Structure 1
Amino acid sequence: MTTYGILLFDSAQELDFTGSWEVFTTSSGLRDGRDDVLLVAERSAPVKAAYGSRLRVDHGWAPEEADLLVVPGGGYARREEPGVWAEVRRGSLPRALAAATRPGLTVSALCTGVMLLSSAGMTTGRPCTTHHRARADRERQGGVLKDARVVDDGDLVTAGGVTSGLDLALWLVRRELGADAAVGLEMMLEYEARGTVWTARSSR
C-alpha cells in the first residue's frame, strides 16, 4: 500500500494536480483500492485553484503519513497573490516542506511547484527540471538542470510544465509497481507517457 499526498494551495494549476490525482487514483482502483490518494493542504480551508475551481480539502497537512508527496505549480508567471510566488514570500509552506523530509518519503514536484522546493533549499545542487519559463530562475538558485521531461534523483523527483504531471505520476507508478502496471495505466487512460526520463542511476 502506498499513500500519495497531493498538495494544494490557492491558485495551484488544475492540470498540474489533477493529472497526478487521476493516475494514482486509477492505479489504486486497478489494485482494488490498495492505495490512499489524499488531497492535502497546509491550511484547513477550501482552495481556489488557478482557473476558479474550488476544492474542499478533507485531509490536513500530515506528510508523516505519506510515502510520496506531489507539489504542483501555479500562479508563477503573474508574480501576484495568490500562487507560488505568494507562497514563497509567505514562507510557511516552504518551511513545512523542508521540515517534512525524512527517510522513506519521496518528494516530487512539477512545473513551477519545483520553485517551492527550491525556496525551501530542497533542490540545491541536485538534478531537477521545471517549467521552461522558470528554468533560468531555478538555475540561478543553484539547481542542476537536466533537459528531460522527468528527473528522478531518488527521493526527489521533478517534472516539467503542466501536462508533465501525467508523465511524472506514470513514472512514479512504474518505479513503485513495475513496467506492466504503468503500461496498463496508459491503456486505461488512453495516454502514452512521453519525453525523456533522466535518472540518477542511468547517469552513473
Structure 2
Amino acid sequence: MHVQIVLFDGFDPLDVIAPFEVLHAGGAASRGAVSVELVSAEGPREVVGGTGGLALRATAALDPARADVVLVPGAAGPVGEPGEEPAAGADASIPVLLGRTLSTGLPALLGAAMDDPATTVATVCGGSLVLALAGLVEGRPVTTHHLGLDLLDATGGRAVRARVVDDGDLVSGAGVTSGLDLALHLLEREIGPRVAHAVEELFAYERRGTVWRDAGAVPVAF
C-alpha cells in the first residue's frame, strides 16, 4: 500500500505527521507492505504549514496513478468565515486557507484520484472540506471537524458526526487527532489487524469510537 500525503500552503502539521508516523510504523511492522511519502500538487518543494510557520518538504508530486491512498489534511489557523480575507499582518483563517487550494492544481488531481475506484482518498479534519469545496463529495457520507460539519452539508456532502467514516474509496476523519485513528483503520483494513494492533501498542494509543459505515440496521431516534 503506497500512501501519498498531500501538503498545501497552510496545512495543519498534526493532520500530516500523525498519520505519517502511524503508516511509516505500519510499513516497518509489515516488512515494507506500506510506504508513505509527502507530496504537493506542484511537485517537490518546502511547504509552510498554518501553525507557527512549521515547514515540511514535499519530496514528489502528487500522482494518483502511483498511489493506493491519497491522504488530504486540513488547514491550521484562526476559525473564520469563508471568503473572509485576513487583515494586514494577520494569519489567514482556516476557511480561507482551504479555499485557496481551489486556485491550485490540487482539485483536478484529487478529482482524478476520486474517479479511480482502485485509489482510496482519505481526509483528516478539514481535508474533507477541500474535497467538498471542489465538488468531489456530492451526496457521500463524510466527516470533518465538528466546527465544519455545517459547511460540509452546505457544499454537498452528507455530514456524519463520527470519528472515522469509511465509505469504501473515501475514508474521512474528524478533528485533528482523528488522524491517528484513521491511519490505524487503514492499516487494519488493508494490511490486517495484527499489524494495526502492533502499531497501537508501539504508540501506546487506543483508537476511539466506532468506524461509521453506511451499513446495517437504521437506528431509531432516541
Q: TM-score normalized by structure 1?
A: 0.92
**Unaligned ranges ≥5, structure 2:** 86-91
Q: Which residue in 2 is equivalent to 1:97?
A: 110
How big is the shift at 1:122? 1.9
Q: Which residue of 1 aligns with 2:20?
A: 21
The equivalent residue for 1:153 is 167
**1:191 has 2:179 as partner:** no
> Which residue does 2:30 correspond to in 1?
31
Q: Is the 8 A contact 1:72 1:110 kept in 2?
A: yes
Shift of 1:202: 4.2
Q: Size of the alignment, in residue pairs? A: 202
Q: 1:135 aligns with which of 138, 141, 149?
A: 149
Percent identity over the alignment is 39
**Is 1:162 aligned with 2:162?**
no
Matching residue of 1:49: 49
Q: Displacement, 1:100?
A: 2.6
The AA in structure 2 aligned to 1:48 is: V
The residue type paired with residue 22 of structure 2 is V
TM-superposed deviation, 1:170: 0.6
Instruction: Give the deviation of 1:63 after TM superposition.
Output: 1.4
Runs of 4+ in structure 1 off by over 3 angstroms are: 78-82, 201-204
- Aligned: 1:83 with 2:97: yes
Once the two structures are TM-superposed, the CA of residue 201 in structure 1 deviates from its matched residue by 3.9
Amino acid corresponding to residue 46 of structure 2 in structure 1 = P
Q: Which residue of the partner structure matches residue 59 of structure 1?
A: 60
User: Whole-Å Cα distance in 2 between the matches of residues 50 and 161 of structure 1?
Assistant: 16
Whether the 8 Å CA contact 1:75–1:85 is kept in 2: the answer is no
For the aligned residues, what is the CA RMSD?
1.8
Deviation readout 1:94-150 (Å, 9 max, x if unpaired): 222112331210001111111111122221101111111111111112221222100
SS across alignment from 1:199 = coil
| Corresponding position: 1:117 with 2:122 | no
> SS of the residue aligned with 2:197?
helix
AA matched with 2:154: R
Aligned to 1:126: 140
Give distance in 1, aligned partners of 2:189 and 2:195.
10
Preserved contact between residue 11 and residue 83 of structure 1 (Cα < 8 Å): yes
In structure 2, what residue type is equivalent to 1:158? S
When residues 120 and 202 of structure 1 are mapped into structure 2, their CA distance, relative to the original with a 3 A threshold, is farther
Task: Please list every run of 5 or more consecutive structure 1 residues that lacks an aligned counterpart in the other structure.
Answer: none
Normalised by the length of structure 2, the TM-score is 0.85
Larger radius of gyration: 2
